[in-house]
Amino acid sequence: MTTRGKATRKKTSTTRKASATSAVHSAIALRAVGKRRHDLQQSIAADRKKRADDYFKRVQPLPRTRAFALTPLSFRILAEGDSWFDYPSPGGSVITHLGKLLKKADILNLAHAGDELRQMLSLAQRYEIEERLKQGQRRLIPFDALLFSGGGNDIVGDQFYNWLHPFTPGASAPDPARTQWAYKVCRDWHVFPQNV
């Protein structure tokens, strides 16, 4: 019986060591994820600052005299949002296409693909939006519009890639049964209004 007790203690000791080793590896992995997240946030903040600095260098202040006021003014837009405004594709995002359509538009795009509403409405980003609006006023480059896009990543998140298929020139239209299924899923998850 004593042998059994010793074996059990040894096994328990081995299990404790394995658990301790696993906990150490988990803590290291968690720290690594936290560091990557922090680095990504810093990178996004630096990119947003660079975009704003480039915008305010590129866009000229409003004319101060009537002689210059005869030239047509550009439309100044501040955009904040998610991937709809910052879609990383060759075709570009909604803002890219809007910039092409509105030839006289100067757009400061602070959107970042992957942003969720909780991030965009955080105190830090809200303060930044307010500061950019004030910066435009101080430099005599006031914004005419604020465009905001949010909610997509909050609703569908990472699983959205399952809904996207690469464009194939000459391909047939999507299967209507699949389209109806996708619509039903969205309706059931309250992505679309129930009465549509």
| Among candidate residues 127, 129, 134, 97, the one with its CA nearest the CA of residue 111 | 129
Residue 196 has a pLDDT of 42
Residue 192 has a pLDDT of 45
Asked whether residue 188 is domain-assigned, the answer is no
Residue 105 has a pLDDT of 87
Residue 136 has a pLDDT of 93
Residue 189 has a pLDDT of 55
Per-residue pLDDT tens digits of the chain, which is 196 residues long? 455 545 555 556 566 666 667 767 788 888 888 888 888 889 988 999 999 999 999 998 876 655 455 555 678 999 999 888 887 777 788 898 888 888 888 999 999 888 888 888 889 899 999 999 999 999 988 999 999 988 877 776 666 666 666 667 777 666 666 666 666 665 665 444 444 4
Residue 193 has a pLDDT of 46
pTM, two decimals, is 0.62
Asked whether residue 131 is domain-assigned, the answer is yes
Asked whether residue 21 is domain-assigned, the answer is no
Residue 53 has a pLDDT of 94
Q: Is the dihedral of CA 104, 80, 44, 125 positive or negative?
A: positive
How far is Cα 29 from Cα 99, in angstroms, rounded to an integer? 42
Residue 30 has a pLDDT of 83
Asked whether residue 121 is domain-assigned, the answer is yes
Asked whether residue 26 is domain-assigned, the answer is no
Domain enclosing residue 113, as ranges: 54-60+71-168
Asked whether residue 2 is domain-assigned, the answer is no
Q: Is the dihedral of CA 75, 101, 149, 56 positive or negative?
A: negative
Count of domains in the chain? 1
Residue 51 has a pLDDT of 93
Asked whether residue 85 is domain-assigned, the answer is yes
Asked whether residue 147 is domain-assigned, the answer is yes
Residue 1 has a pLDDT of 47
Torsion, CA 184, CA 187, CA 192, CA 196, rounded to 10 = 70
